A and B are shown apart, each in its own frame.
Chain A
Amino acid sequence: MAANLSYDPVTKHVSALDTSEGYIEEVDALNRLTKDLVSSGLEVPENGEPSKQQTAMIQKLVNSAMDAMKRRAYAEAIKNITVAIDAASRRKRWEAFQVQLQELIGFLQLRTDAYMLSAKYADALVDADLLLLMTALTAENFLRKGIALLNLGRYDEARVVFERGLCFHEGNDKLVQHLAVSKKLIAEENGDAV
């Protein structure tokens, strides 16, 4: 069998000799898992309780981000959250998924707002889109995605988002208001009477 891997017994690192697409990704994933397992010091991965240390550190970062938001230092806030997300992503891969999911949802919601307020609409859009994909189907998240789209000039897509938001949150004022705004913008873009 052709050797696609080379193993370094000192670092316990595996490196890819096969450079085809996806192979490197898999090798990285393996190394990551090995590192997790080794550093946990356990024989086999134990039940996925999130590490308290990491949680504390992450919380600190989040707090400083929220602080920056209050001071309107959006770039700083974004940086802090991104670091927090990276820190969170270093959790053991076998730690409870739901916990990691909820954590990420919280981060992204914060970051989306920061992006929006610093006019980085495209970044805000993809974050908000991921939030909805993670089934965090709150009215706020629909608003986040929709408003990002409006600011990017994509009025038809925004209208679709607001309409979907209203399916889950019937009569929500902000959604209704923004739906009307998107319809108005569509009519303007088409030269139609509003």
Chain B
Amino acid sequence: MDSRYSYDENSETWPVFVLALTSVAVVPLTIAKVYSALSTNVELQHQDAIEQRNIPPQVLKHRSDQKRRSSLTKKNIFLVFGWIVIAAMVYLVSTTEQTPTQNLFDPYELLGVEFGTPEKVIKSTYRKLSVKYHPDKIKGASEEEMKELEERFVLITKAYKALTDEETKENYEKYGHPDGAQPVSHGIALPKFLVEGKSSPLLLALYIALIGGALPYVVGTWWSQVKKVTKRGIYSDTAEEFITRLMNQNPAKHVGMSTILTWLSNAAEYKDLLPGKTPEQIYSLYEEYLNRKPSDDALTAVSIVPTLINGLFDITANFRSTEITLTVVDTLKHFTQALPEGPKNELLQLPCVDTDAVNKSKIVKLGRLTTLPRDEIKQTLGIKDDAELEEALRVGTRIPKLDLISAKFEVPGETVVTPSSTSVINVKVAVKSARHHKKASVSQEKLEEDQSLEAMRDPFKIVHAQPPLPLAHAPFFPSERHSGYVGFIVLQRDGKICDQPVLFRNLDLSNLDLSETEFKDGKKVTVGTFKLPVSQPTPAQPGKYQFRVIIKSLDYFTQDIDTSVTMHVQEPPKIEEVNYDIPDPEENSLAGTMAELRGEKVKSGDSDDEDEEESDLEEEEDFTDINTDTEEEDDDED
């Protein structure tokens, strides 16, 4: 072994090395985990969720199993292990003696003087000390003590020389030691037992394995992990599957929920989640679940459906397929509420109802249900027990419905929609309950927004300032679901989606607590805001362009927003031009006399009014409504 490298004989440095390495990995991970745990806790404490009292036992069991499983993840085990290692290293570091690595030569300290003391003082100090430490002067000391004193004396002399003698001073300044260049020792933070002796080839082998084997493996798996999942949260293979199916979809065939289920069941995630199950089996698991007779496997299969659907409608919206996208979003509602296809789902999503009775009646909407007398409600829902009826109505009246107040295009900072600008669709809604049947009269003030510069810089601030949505009432779903809405913009000209889907997680639901009269009155009504960003700039040509805005609930079968919105592109109103010309001075004024003397122009006092120009009336151009392209077909057939 090369003697220039000294290995860690006393276990001083390698624990520090290991400590540093482990901390770098463990500490940030722990901080991130703690932070996310805290923030989710905070998030859950927002608006009152509809209490879920009827969670079926297998779902409860599945949820608690999930919680247990999620706490035993590899990440958590690694963190625990990491902290144990850190604790061990800290202990080691604190208990081992530190031997000084280098003898730092500090002449000032040796002589006991401060930096910058004049030479004279140094000389006298030296004299005094040398007297003290001169070996000849000490008597009766042991051999050890003698040696120490000698060493001390030598050092003092050197110190004095380092500060006064030319040569020595040079050495000190260059090398930090009066004797000149010192041997530099390098330490390697490895304990000696690992390096020397029989275990040295082992260490070499370990080193090779680490650099040549473990490192590429770790990087390789990390990279393939990154490549495995798209930014949307689904596997790349699944995205590929969805796109291929969408591309090969026969346009003549109607795409219904069963088609969507087929697509979902072919997701690549299931190979990891439920290995050994074919897509057909996954499909039947879906059916089990939607018919509310789920096995544990069915619950596992359904648990990833929201993520899959999120990835799917991202794709279908970008492929501009309106019908398919809306079917996909509806499919998510079916999964959240565990209901099969059918027209009565608004009622069937309530607890305690009898499916057959509901299917027999002609009532389809919750709003209508609440107008009926109690007996009829009982009959419609097939409920006999009063307590159960209360339960059903409790949930039914707390499912939010969206009433449209207004929807328009806005360009932040402008009063009209200007050409070639970034616009936003501002949708104002009144959240209402199935109990409310009259229209809320909302004052104009409530619809006005903050016009400050800040608000204009971030027009979405008002949307995010709304309270976060609570957990959805989804007692059959394998895990807790956060409520949400999704918004789409459709171009009316071709009926196809023309922009990215937007997710909304914030909305004020306090209107649900108002009484019918309070709601109609409007004073206590809170106005909800949805804003959809438009990625394309507004057309350069002024005119009217037609769009359709759709905002759907992701969790409930309820009243959603689906309305036509016109984008009226206009040139901004012209500001009246200010006449900056300074008129010529009048004849009879002082300025006029001075100007005359100078020979400049002067306005004669008797000038006629006909010289005055009429200020140009700025005409606001009237843009004729430019209708979008149509093929006018005139049928002459009768």
A-B contact pairs, 13 of them (CB 8 A): A109-B635, A136-B633, A137-B630, A138-B630, A138-B634, A140-B635, A156-B562, A163-B563, A166-B564, A167-B564, A167-B566, A190-B365, A192-B437
State how many angstroms separate the Cβ of A61 from the closest Cβ of chain B. Answer: 13
CB–CB B367/A192 < 8 A? yes
B637 partner residues in chain A, CB cutoff 8 A: 66, 106, 109-110
CB–CB A163/B628 < 8 A? no
Given contacts A106-B637, A190-B368, contact A160 B439 (CB under 8 A): no
Question: CA separation between A127 and B394, bound complex, in Å?
Answer: 43
Selected from A66, A140, A164, A190, the residue in CB contact (under 8 A) with B495 is A164
At the interface, yes or no: A193 with Cβ under 8 Å from chain B? yes
**CB closest residue in chain B, given A137:** B630
State how many angstroms separate the Cβ of A194 from the closest Cβ of chain B. Answer: 10
CB–CB A160/B562 < 8 A? yes
Within 8 A of B (CB), among A155-194: 156, 159-160, 163-164, 166-170, 189-193
At the interface, yes or no: A11 with Cβ under 8 Å from chain B? no
At the interface, yes or no: B369 with Cβ under 8 Å from chain A? yes
Question: CA separation between A135 and B633, bound complex, in Å?
Answer: 10
CB–CB B438/A193 < 8 A? yes
B546 partner residues in chain A, CB cutoff 8 A: 167
B564 partner residues in chain A, CB cutoff 8 A: 163-164, 166-167
At the interface, yes or no: B23 with Cβ under 8 Å from chain A? no
Within 8 A of B (CB), among A9-58: none
Question: CA separation between A144 and B517, bound complex, in Å?
Answer: 40
Number of interface residues of B (CB under 8 A): 31
Residues on A close to B: CB < 8 A? 66, 105-106, 109-110, 135-138, 140-141, 156, 159-160, 163-164, 166-170, 189-193
Question: CA separation between A163 and B367, bound complex, in Å?
Answer: 24
New A-B contacts (10) at CB < 8 Å, excluding given A136-B631, A193-B438: A109-B635, A160-B548, A160-B562, A168-B492, A169-B630, A189-B368, A190-B365, A190-B559, A191-B369, A193-B437
**CB closest residue in chain A, given B436:** A192
CB–CB B371/A191 < 8 A? yes
Question: CA separation between A138 and B637, bound complex, in Å?
Answer: 14
Question: CA separation between A85 and B421, bound complex, in Å?
Answer: 48
B563 partner residues in chain A, CB cutoff 8 A: 163
At the interface, yes or no: B514 with Cβ under 8 Å from chain A? no
State how many angstroms separate the Cβ of B253 from the closest Cβ of chain A. Answer: 12
At the interface, yes or no: B364 with Cβ under 8 Å from chain A? yes
CB–CB B368/A191 < 8 A? yes
Given contacts A110-B637, A163-B563, A164-B564, contact A191 B630 (CB under 8 A): no
CB–CB A168/B628 < 8 A? yes
**Cβ proximity bits B612-638 to A, threshold 8 Å, 1 near / 0 not:** 000000000000010110111111011
**CB closest residue in chain B, given A136:** B633
At the interface, yes or no: B370 with Cβ under 8 Å from chain A? yes
Selected from B364, B493, B548, B638, the residue in CB contact (under 8 A) with A66 is B638
A191 partner residues in chain B, CB cutoff 8 A: 365, 367-371, 437
Residues on B close to A: CB < 8 A? 364-365, 367-371, 437-439, 492-493, 495, 546, 548, 559, 562-564, 566, 625, 627-628, 630-635, 637-638
B562 partner residues in chain A, CB cutoff 8 A: 156, 159-160
State how many angstroms separate the Cβ of B302 from the closest Cβ of chain A. Answer: 27
A138 partner residues in chain B, CB cutoff 8 A: 630-635
Question: CA separation between A50 and B627, bound complex, in Å?
Answer: 34
B625 partner residues in chain A, CB cutoff 8 A: 170
Question: CA separation between A168 and B493, bound complex, in Å?
Answer: 8
**CB closest residue in chain A, given B494:** A135
CB–CB B492/A164 < 8 A? yes
CB–CB A168/B635 < 8 A? no
Given contacts A109-B635, A191-B437, contact A168 B630 (CB under 8 A): yes
State how many angstroms separate the Cβ of A100 from the closest Cβ of chain B. Answer: 16
Selected from B364, B368, B627, the residue in CB contact (under 8 A) with A168 is B627
- Residue among B493, B633, B635 with the highest chain A CB neighbour number at 10 A: B633
- Residue among A136, A160, A164, A192 with the highest chain B CB neighbour number at 10 A: A192
A66 partner residues in chain B, CB cutoff 8 A: 637-638
A136 partner residues in chain B, CB cutoff 8 A: 631, 633
**CB closest residue in chain A, given B562:** A160
A189 partner residues in chain B, CB cutoff 8 A: 364-365, 367-368
> Which 3 A/B pairs are nearest by Cβ-Cβ distance?
A190-B367, A191-B368, A167-B546
Question: CA separation between A190 and B559, bound complex, in Å?
Answer: 9
**CB closest residue in chain B, given A109:** B635
A105 partner residues in chain B, CB cutoff 8 A: 633
B365 partner residues in chain A, CB cutoff 8 A: 189-191
State how many angstroms separate the Cβ of B354 from the closest Cβ of chain A. Answer: 21
Question: CA separation between A193 and B441, bound complex, in Å?
Answer: 13
Question: CA separation between A110 and B369, bound complex, in Å?
Answer: 40
Question: CA separation between A50 and B630, bound complex, in Å?
Answer: 26
Given contacts A160-B548, A190-B559, contact A167 B628 (CB under 8 A): yes
Question: CA separation between A137 and B628, bound complex, in Å?
Answer: 11
Question: CA separation between A149 and B492, bound complex, in Å?
Answer: 19
State how many angstroms separate the Cβ of B387 from the closest Cβ of chain A. Answer: 24
State how many angstroms separate the Cβ of B203 from the closest Cβ of chain A. Answer: 61
State how many angstroms separate the Cβ of A164 from the closest Cβ of chain B. Answer: 5
B566 partner residues in chain A, CB cutoff 8 A: 167
State how many angstroms separate the Cβ of B629 from the closest Cβ of chain A. Answer: 9
**CB closest residue in chain B, given A154:** B343
Question: CA separation between A149 and B206, bound complex, in Å?
Answer: 74
Question: CA separation between A66 and B369, bound complex, in Å?
Answer: 46
State how many angstroms separate the Cβ of A52 from the closest Cβ of chain B. Answer: 21
Given contacts A163-B563, A164-B548, contact A170 B368 (CB under 8 A): no
- Residue among B371, B559, B630, B634 with the highest chain A CB neighbour number at 10 A: B630
Question: CA separation between A136 and B635, bound complex, in Å?
Answer: 11
CB–CB A193/B439 < 8 A? yes
State how many angstroms separate the Cβ of B182 from the closest Cβ of chain A. Answer: 84
Question: CA separation between A135 and B437, bound complex, in Å?
Answer: 39
A141 partner residues in chain B, CB cutoff 8 A: 633
A164 partner residues in chain B, CB cutoff 8 A: 492, 495, 548, 564
A160 partner residues in chain B, CB cutoff 8 A: 548, 562
B559 partner residues in chain A, CB cutoff 8 A: 190
Question: CA separation between A192 and B368, bound complex, in Å?
Answer: 7
B495 partner residues in chain A, CB cutoff 8 A: 164
A168 partner residues in chain B, CB cutoff 8 A: 492, 627-628, 630
Selected from B437, B627, B632, B635, the residue in CB contact (under 8 A) with A170 is B627
**CB closest residue in chain B, given A188:** B368
Question: CA separation between A11 and B175, bound complex, in Å?
Answer: 105
State how many angstroms separate the Cβ of A118 from the closest Cβ of chain B. Answer: 18
B364 partner residues in chain A, CB cutoff 8 A: 189
CB–CB B437/A137 < 8 A? no
B548 partner residues in chain A, CB cutoff 8 A: 160, 163-164
State how many angstroms separate the Cβ of B371 from the closest Cβ of chain A. Answer: 4
A169 partner residues in chain B, CB cutoff 8 A: 630
Question: CA separation between A170 and B543, bound complex, in Å?
Answer: 14
CB–CB B631/A137 < 8 A? yes
Question: CA separation between A190 and B437, bound complex, in Å?
Answer: 8
**CB closest residue in chain B, given A164:** B492
A193 partner residues in chain B, CB cutoff 8 A: 437-439
Question: CA separation between A86 and B487, bound complex, in Å?
Answer: 43
State how many angstroms separate the Cβ of A2 from the closest Cβ of chain B. Answer: 23
